[in-house]
């Protein structure tokens, strides 16, 4: 039986968590409501949970310009899918190698991974390498490769998960049977590591979905505007609402009168469209996310 103090502590903890959850959800609720607010009402009175006038003009504009915005949405989906899959493959295989105590040069590789968590080459050197050496400018790889390279935090999480949750005896039996490392990895390690893969995959997918800096650095309006993702479109709208109208014909849409654009609420509508997939997918990965973070963060 729980004591009165324990019940009181539990009540306070639940109350605090409920309040924090409400505070976290309120911005999303305001975002959705603002996207359904009349543009002139939003300009005059600002955003409100109880707008004086409702309107679908922002979403009507999105549907009219769906060839432009929809293309950006498609680019975002493709980049997120490819980037997350490739990043998971690289991260999981490197973490598997680092989990081996008998790996030659293991300490050097661990130092390199940890070093990247503390320092980076900076924007100028990274831009020079990607642009002049890898030549990814104005290609789809400009949105994938810069975020594809090693993420030290994810590698450490996956490595710790391997060492803490996969019995060493499985590897010993596989070695006695003469099974190769690739077979061990894909037939034993991968099926037993779905929680940590879901955790790191979700974090990577969110990073790719919300990324706009790579498009800003490596895509130009003349040669790469057709590869803008939904975040780049939203960023350009925030800078200049005329962007969509001026580039509609180049990106597959039709030119429109810029006075028809609900400049204030369309920002909210595009942002709402951009976050819907994340809000839909996250609940299905939540249990794996919590488990993967908890177990993967365990120190040796």
Sign of CA dihedral 82, 225, 265, 26: positive
Task: Give me the helix-helix angle, 263-296 and 66-98, nearest 10°.
Answer: 10
Strand partners, 54: 37
Q: Which residues touch 150 (CB under 8 Å, ≥6 apart)?
A: 90, 91, 94, 113, 116
Q: Which of 185, 197, 215 is nearest to 91 (CA)?
A: 197
pLDDT given for residue 161 in this prediction: 87
At residue 256 the predicted structure's pLDDT band, cuts being 50, 70 and 90, is very low
For residue 133, what is the DSSP state?
I
User: Percentage of the chain with pLDDT > 70?
Assistant: 85
77, 79, 85, 90: CA torsion to nearest 10: -160
pLDDT given for residue 93 in this prediction: 92
From residue 221, give the alpha-carbon distance in Å to each of 66, 144, 145, 247, 251: 19, 18, 20, 9, 10
Range in 41-45, 71-75, 217-221, 280-284 with the lowest mean pLDDT: 280-284
> Which of 3.40.640.10, 3.10.560.10, 3.90.76.10, 1.10.3720.10 would CATH assign to domain 67-296?
1.10.3720.10
CA distance 154 to 160: 10
pLDDT (tens digit, 9 = 90+) per residue, 219-247? 887 777 888 888 888 777 766 665 555 55
* SS3 (DSSP) at 258: helix
Residue 3: both structure tokens together = 């004591």
- What is the average pLDDT score of the chain? 82
Q: Which of 111, 128, 195, 186 is nearest to 161 (CA)?
A: 195
Residue 66: both structure tokens together = 């769906």
* SS3 (DSSP) at 256: coil
pLDDT given for residue 18 in this prediction: 94
Range in 75-89, 197-211, 255-269 with the lowest mean pLDDT: 255-269
pLDDT (tens digit, 9 = 90+) per residue, 121-174? 788 888 888 888 888 889 999 999 988 866 788 888 899 888 888 888 888 888
Give the rounded distance of the alpha carbon of 99 from its chain centre.
26
Tally of CB atoms within 10 A around 178: 7
pTM above 0.95, yes or no: no
CA distance 287 to 285: 6
CA distance 189 to 93: 10
pLDDT (tens digit, 9 = 90+) per residue, 64-90? 878 888 888 899 999 999 999 999 999
Per DSSP, helices labelled H in 166-255 are: 168-176, 181-184, 190-192, 194-210, 213-218, 221-224, 230-239, 243-247
């Amino acid at each position: 039986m729980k004591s009165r103090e324990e019940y009181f502590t539990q009540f306070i903890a639940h109350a605090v968590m409920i309040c924090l959850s409400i505070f976290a959800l309120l911005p999303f609720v305001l975002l959705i409501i603002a996207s359904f607010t009349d543009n002139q009402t939003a300009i005059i009175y600002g955003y409100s949970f109880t707008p004086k006038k409702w309107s679908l003009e922002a979403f009507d504009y999105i549907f009219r310009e769906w060839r432009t915005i929809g293309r950006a949405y498609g680019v975002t989906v493709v980049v997120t899918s490819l980037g997350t899959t490739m990043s998971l493959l690289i991260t999981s295989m490197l973490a598997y190698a680092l989990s081996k105590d008998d790996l030659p040069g293991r300490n050097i590789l661990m130092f390199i991974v940890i070093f990247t968590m503390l320092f980076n080459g900076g924007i100028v050197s990274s831009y020079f390498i990607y642009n002049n050496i890898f030549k990814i400018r104005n290609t789809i790889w400009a949105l994938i490769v810069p975020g594809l390279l090693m993420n030290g935090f994810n590698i450490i999480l996956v490595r710790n998960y391997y060492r803490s949750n996969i019995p060493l005896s499985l590897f010993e039996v596989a070695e006695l049977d003469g099974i190769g490392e690739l077979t061990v990895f894909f037939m034993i390690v991968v099926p037993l590591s779905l929680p940590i893969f879901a955790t790191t995959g979700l974090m990577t997918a969110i990073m790719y979905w919300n990324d706009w800096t790579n498009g800003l650095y490596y895509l130009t309006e003349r040669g790469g505007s057709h590869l803008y993702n939904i975040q780049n479109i939203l960023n350009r709208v925030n800078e200049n609402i005329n962007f969509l109208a001026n580039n509609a014909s180049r990106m597959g849409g039709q030119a429109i009168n810029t006075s028809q654009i609900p400049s204030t609420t369309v920002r909210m509508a595009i942002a709402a469209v951009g976050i819907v997939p994340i809000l839909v997918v996250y609940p299905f990965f939540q249990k794996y996310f919590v488990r993967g973070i908890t177990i993967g963060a365990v120190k040796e």
